[in-house]
Amino acid sequence: MSVGDGAAQQPAENGPAEAKQSKAGRNLPAAIAVGVGLGALVICTLLFAPKLWVAVVAVAAAIATYEVTQRLREHGIAVPLIPLLVGGQAMVWLSWPYGIPGILNAFGVTVLVLMIWRLLNGGLANKPENYTRDMAVSIFVAAWIPLFASFATLMVIHGENGPGMVFCLMIGIVCSDVGGYIAGVLFGKHPMVPAISPKKSWEGLAGSLLFGVVGGILTVTFILDESPWIGAVLGAALVLSGTLGDLVESQFKRDLGIKDMSAMLPGHGGLMDRLDSALPSAVVTWVILGALL
């Protein structure tokens, strides 16, 4: 989720609690500090111990899955936690030796276990309630978090320039966030999808596209040593996938009537609130760079 959500906001009300809030509705210093810390973890891992990237992704996927599952359970949606956690780890770790076939096999088995688990977890004598709803949500979570996250491991383990691909992904997301925040705060007047995310504006999206395309061109040219037009395509695609990922999580939280997935990261909310745009963008990066390089 971007720090500013690419939006123009009303100034915060006067008061000790609101004084630290930015126009984006967040504690901006805390958000920046957390963002820098997470960025440092990513950079150090990719530069000095790229194989550990699999563990970083696995831990992040597990935490995000737990956050989402707990929120769903609080609202009466019985999503099986254990199969999601175990299956999610299988998707991430099997991507190392087996690539895409390993991920898909793990995802298929995870869905099968979820179906049986939810069907029988009340006992053989009891009829499961809301089975179809709970199964649909469970499969959605399995795809949304660990399946998408596994594409980030594919880039490092099986990509020709794995760390460089991840850097292009992360820098592209940051450029989109920064461009959306600046343009949204300074010029945002026209809401993009007010029914889903009232903070987002068309001006913010334009800023995201400008910064995202420039960032994509620079990263692909200087990190991957590839054509600038590939960077332009990647940058634009990351803006769209990141924005859509942010909107999906916004609607998910709106359905549940919550603001954040958790309070784990000051200024951001939960870890899933930080990964919402990165997860679908990992898939987009793998597909585009795999097709064009």
For the four alpha carbons of 236, 238, 241 and 245, in that order, the dihedral sign comes to: negative
Q: Per-residue pLDDT tens for 67-84?
A: 999 999 999 999 999 999
Q: Identify which has the larger pLDDT, 241 or 269.
A: 241
Q: How large a percentage of the chain has pLDDT more than 90?
A: 74
Q: Is residue 242 very low, low, confident or very high in pLDDT (cuts 50, 70, 90)?
A: very high
> Does the structure show a pLDDT above 60 at 172?
yes
Question: Residue 114 has what pLDDT?
Answer: 97
Spatial separation of the C-alpha atoms in residues 211 and 204, rounded to whole Å = 11
Question: Residue 160 has what pLDDT?
Answer: 78
pTM of the complete model: 0.87
Spatial separation of the C-alpha atoms in residues 99 and 212, rounded to whole Å = 29
Question: Residue 124 has what pLDDT?
Answer: 79
Question: Residue 81 has what pLDDT?
Answer: 96
Which candidate, 58, 56, 64, places its Cα nearest to that of 93? 58
> Does the structure show a pLDDT above 70 at 9?
no
Are 188 and 204 in contact by the 8 Å Cβ rule? The answer is yes
What average pLDDT score do residues 203-217 get? 97
Question: Residue 217 has what pLDDT?
Answer: 97
Q: Identify which has the larger pLDDT, 206 or 29.
A: 206
Backbone φ/ψ region at 180: left (φ over 0), alpha (ψ -120 to 50), beta: alpha
What average pLDDT score do residues 262-290 get? 90
Which candidate, 198, 286, 183, 187, places its Cα nearest to that of 246? 198
H helix intervals, 188-268: 202-222, 228-256
Question: Residue 249 has what pLDDT?
Answer: 95
Give Cβ neighbours of residue 171 (< 8 Å, ≥ 6 apart): 215, 219
Q: Is residue 17 very low, low, confident or very high in pLDDT (cuts 50, 70, 90)?
A: very low
> Does the structure show a pLDDT above 50 at 205?
yes
